[in-house]
Amino acid sequence: MRARAKRLWLIVTAGILLTGAVGLTMFSLSNQIDAFYVPAKLVDSGGGVPGERAKVGGLVKMGSVETLEDGSLQFVIEDAQAEIAVSFDGFVPDLFREGQGVICTGVFTDAWTFQATELLAKHDENYMPRELEDELKEQGVYKGTDEGV
């Protein structure tokens, strides 16, 4: 076989291997990447897609937290423009309470209802996820301070 043919086969083999590696990487990452929504963004897009994995964030609406008989938790996440009903069955962080920022990971059961599998609560007075803080500032409902930013 000529040197030219060997180089051609080497290039073809390297291309196939590279394409396969990129494809496997994209496939494995697709299961790990979640879209992030605040209630106002859901209003703009017409609600969540049932079955879609996502993260939703906002402030826990005052008076909305309810613990059911089976131990699951139901509450509403809000911002200045919209609300999302959330149900959660699992460990509730000690810092979870009404009026505080929260991020939930899970799936939409319908356009305005979210089944959370993970619940993250604000851990001190100066922390809020950057995306959520920016959205709340745009809407004029951010209650935090800008210290330490």
Q: How far apart are CA 13 and CA 3, in angstroms?
A: 15
How many residues in total does the chain contain? 149
What does the pLDDT look like over 107-116, one tens digit per residue?
A: 999 888 899 9
What does the pLDDT look like over 12-39, one tens digit per residue?
A: 999 999 999 999 988 888 777 778 888 8
In angstroms, how far apart are the furthest CA atoms of the chain? 79
Listed range (35-44, 52-61, 102-111, 130-139) with the worst mean pLDDT: 130-139
Question: 35-139 in CATH: which number?
Answer: 2.40.50.140
What does the pLDDT look like over 69-126, one tens digit per residue?
A: 988 899 999 988 888 999 999 888 888 888 888 999 999 998 888 999 999 887 655 5
Torsion, Cα 121 90 86 44, to 10 degrees, reads: 60
Distances (CA, A) of 101 to 43, 70, 84, 124: 19, 25, 14, 10
Q: Under a CB-based contact definition with an 8 Å cutoff, are residues 62 and 81 in contact?
A: no
The gap from C-alpha 83 to its chain's centroid, in whole angstroms, comes to: 15
